[in-house]
């Protein structure tokens, strides 16, 4: 089977590594655009822009690709999956329309309401007067979300009403959602979906805030660990039955089958589990720890999802080992973009047993170091020892990833 992975971040690097680790020969994988570290493992196509439908479809045809795996949200929302499917290529990744589950928070709320999926109360607002009214209705802490994609910068959670209003003002033209504040631990649970049935992967916890002790602004994710030892028994089954399957059923009922990865961002409140967001793709950095533990053949699972055959065969198997990943961010992330600076020491970190480095962008979230061990303490020590070998002027990372489970 020849596989094309679309994207060029740490998540795509983790996908490529997991494909190879679980049995796909590296020569059967290409990645577009990829990045300089992915290029050390498989052939990359840096000339391709991931959102360019025609370029991606042409590349896939030239290389006789059997399965395309779309990593980031931008190509999904741009309709790259549709362009590939039109050429008869099996795709792991939802259509442009189905990707609206991530692309519009209002649409996601509509689907959840129709499917009776538990989520926070929310009001859709199109003027600042409506926003203010909704803020007063729900009270502090305030939660304001941009309706559309905002690269992790669309959400604010604050007790400062003026800050909430200022945030709303930035996005109001395209619509804003004001939501009740939900208190509890967050869990990311990924499901493979073939449009009809779903298959859960192993849960992970992401660290969204920029600095230690959950301080600072929201980010795309500064670290993660998997599995989650403190989850109540039956958690995965409950989310499958109450969240993932009804959502996929509702999407099918609307004629927009969801084929690909349904990322359920959940919060465990005192009133039960609730959805805070859906994404239509693998999460970053959770993928680095979830796929690190995968034992089943990833190519086979993704192909079964892409071709409506998820039920024909075994579920995903995971190692009982623990994985911890820590993200290195460039100076000023997520508020300002640092100039591109050289990163040193990646090879030295990768030379360690049970340490992997997944490379992302030159600025922003630059890379993630993944440690894997028998215990969380071991995995954490490895990830941080690996990180200590890496240097980037002005770069920073959190020091408390996985601490609560170690
Ligand atoms: P989202 O992009 O919707 O996942 O939001 C980003 C982050 O903001 C989440 O991971 C949560 O940490 C936080 N957040 C979002 N919605 C809520 C909410 N209703 N209550 C509390 N925190 C929230
Ligand atoms: N880590 C959160 C996300 O991928 O959206």
Instruction: Work out the burial of residue 366: count CB atoms within 10 Å of its CB; fewer than 13 is exposed, 13-18 middle, 19 or more buried.
Output: buried
- Ligand 2 contact via 246 beta carbon (within 6 Å): no
- pLDDT tens for each residue of 183-229: 999 999 999 999 999 999 999 999 999 999 999 988 999 999 999 99
State the pLDDT at residue 105: 87
State the pLDDT at residue 20: 98
Q: Does 192 sit behind a cis peptide bond, omega within 30 degrees of 0 on the bond before it?
A: no
From ligand 2's centre to the CA of 283, what distance in Å?
Answer: 4
Q: Which residues contact 36 (CB under 8 A, 6 or more apart)?
A: 359
Q: Which residues contact 15 (CB under 8 A, 6 or more apart)?
A: 5, 69, 71, 282, 287, 291, 298
Residue 147: which pLDDT band, with cuts at 50, 70 and 90?
confident
- Ligand 2 contact via 265 beta carbon (within 6 Å): no
Over 70: is that where the pLDDT of 152 sits?
Answer: no
- Ligand 2 contact via 73 beta carbon (within 6 Å): no
- pLDDT tens for each residue of 27-47: 999 999 999 999 999 999 999
| CATH superfamily of domain region 123-179 | ATP-grasp fold, A domain (3.30.1490.20)
- pLDDT tens for each residue of 246-304: 999 999 999 999 999 999 999 999 999 999 999 999 999 999 999 999 999 999 999 99
User: Which one of the ligands is nearest to 149 CA?
Assistant: 1
State the pLDDT at residue 161: 92
Backbone angles phi, psi at 50, to 5 degrees: -60, -25
338: helix, coil or strand? coil
Find out if CATH 3.30.360.30 is the number for domain 3-96: no
Considering the chain, tell me which residue range(s) the CATH 3.30.1490.20 domain(s) occupy.
123-179
| CATH superfamily of domain region 185-405 | ATP-grasp fold, B domain (3.30.470.20)
> What is the position in ligand 2's atom list of the atom closest to the CA of 285?
1
Identify the sign of the CA torsion 294, 300, 302, 308: negative
Residue 121: which pLDDT band, with cuts at 50, 70 and 90?
very high
386: helix, coil or strand? helix
From ligand 2's centre to the CA of 129, what distance in Å?
Answer: 31
User: Which one of the ligands is nearest to 187 CA?
Assistant: 1
Residue to mutate (ligand 2; options 146, 188, 281, 329; most atoms within 8 A of CB): 188
Considering the chain, tell me which residue range(s) the CATH 3.30.470.20 domain(s) occupy.
185-405
Q: What is the DSSP string of 185-237?
A: EEEEEEEEEESS-EEE---BEE--EEEGGGEEEE-S-SEEEES-TTSPTTHHH
Considering the chain, tell me which residue range(s) the CATH 3.40.50.20 domain(s) occupy.
3-96
> Which protein residue's CA is at the shortest distance from atom 3 of ligand 2?
283
Length of the chain measured in residues: 406
Residue 182: which pLDDT band, with cuts at 50, 70 and 90?
very high
In this structure, the residues whose C-beta lies within 6 A of any atom of ligand 1 are: 120, 143, 145, 155, 157, 179, 181-182, 186, 208, 218, 265, 276-277
> What is the position in ligand 1's atom list of the atom closest to the CA of 181?
20
Q: Which of 9, 37, 75 lies closest to 286 in space, CA to CA?
A: 9
Within 13 Å, how many C-alpha atoms sit on residue 237's CB side? 3
> What is the position in ligand 2's atom list of the atom closest to the CA of 286?
1
- pTM for the model: 0.96
Report strand pairing: 29-33 vs 198-200: unpaired
- Ligand 2 contact via 12 beta carbon (within 6 Å): no
Taking the C-alpha atoms of residue 377 and residue 369, their distance in angstroms, rounded to an integer, is 15
Taking the C-alpha atoms of residue 339 and residue 394, their distance in angstroms, rounded to an integer, is 10
CB of 280 closer than 8 Å to CB of 260:
yes
C-beta contacts of 87-90 below 8 A and 24+ residues apart: 87/57, 87/60, 87/61, 89/57, 89/60, 89/61, 89/65, 90/66, 90/303, 90/306, 90/307
> Which protein residue's CA is at the shortest distance from atom 5 of ligand 2?
283
**Structure-model confidence comparison of residues 163 and 57, the more confident one:** 57
State the pLDDT at residue 154: 84
Helix H or strand E encompassing 269: strand 259-269
The stretch 51-73 carries a mean pLDDT of 97
Q: How far is CA 192 from CA 74, 83, 203, 318, 332, in A?
A: 19, 21, 13, 14, 35
Quick one: how far is CA 197 from the chain centroid? 20
Q: Does 184 sit behind a cis peptide bond, omega within 30 degrees of 0 on the bond before it?
A: no
């Amino acid at each position: 089977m020849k596989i094309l992975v679309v994207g060029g971040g740490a998540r795509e690097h983790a996908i490529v590594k997991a494909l190879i680790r679980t049995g796909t020969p590296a020569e059967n994988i290409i990645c577009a655009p990829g990045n300089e570290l992915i290029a050390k493992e498989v052939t990359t196509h840096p000339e391709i822009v991931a959102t360019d439908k025609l370029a991606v479809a042409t590349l896939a045809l030239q290389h006789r690709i059997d399965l395309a795996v779309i990593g980031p949200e931008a190509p999904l929302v741009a309709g790259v999956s549709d362009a590939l499917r039109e050429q008869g290529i099996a795709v792991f990744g939802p259509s442009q329309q189905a990707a609206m589950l991530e692309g519009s928070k209002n649409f996601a709320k509509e689907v959840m309401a129709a499917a009776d999926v538990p989520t926070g109360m929310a009001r859709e607002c199109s003027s600042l007067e409506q926003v203010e009214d909704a803020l007063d209705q729900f009270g502090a802490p305030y939660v304001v979300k941009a309706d559309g994609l905002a690269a992790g910068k669309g959400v604010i959670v604050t007790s400062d009403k003026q800050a909430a209003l200022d945030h709303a003002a930035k996005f109001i033209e395209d619509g804003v959602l004001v939501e009740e504040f939900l208190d509890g631990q967050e869990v990311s649970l990924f499901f493979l979906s073939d449009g009809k049935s779903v298959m859960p992967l192993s849960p992970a916890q992401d660290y969204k805030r920029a600095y230690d002790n959950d301080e600072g602004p929201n980010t795309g994710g500064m670290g993660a660990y998997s599995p989650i030892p403190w989850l109540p028994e039956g958690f995965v089954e409950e989310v499958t039955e109450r969240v993932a399957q009804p959502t996929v059923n509702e999407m099918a009922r609307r004629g927009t089958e969801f084929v690909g990865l349904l990322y359920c961002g959940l919060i465990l409140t005192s009133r039960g589990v609730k959805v805070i967001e859906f994404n239509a793709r693998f999460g970053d950095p959770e993928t680095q720890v979830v796929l690190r533990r995968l034992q089943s053949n990833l190519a086979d699972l993704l192909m079964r999802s892409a071709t409506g055959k998820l039920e024909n065969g075994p579920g995903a198997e995971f190692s009982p080992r623990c994985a911890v990943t820590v993200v290195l961010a460039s100076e000023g992330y997520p508020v300002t973009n640092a100039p591109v600076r050289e990163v040193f020491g990646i090879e030295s970190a990768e030379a360690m047993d049970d340490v992997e480095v997944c490379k992302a962008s030159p600025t922003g979230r630059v890379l993630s170091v993944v440690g894997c061990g028998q215990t969380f303490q071991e995995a954490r020590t490895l990830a941080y020892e690996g990180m200590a070998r890496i240097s980037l002027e002005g770069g920073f990372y959190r020091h408390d990833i996985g601490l609560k489970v170690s």
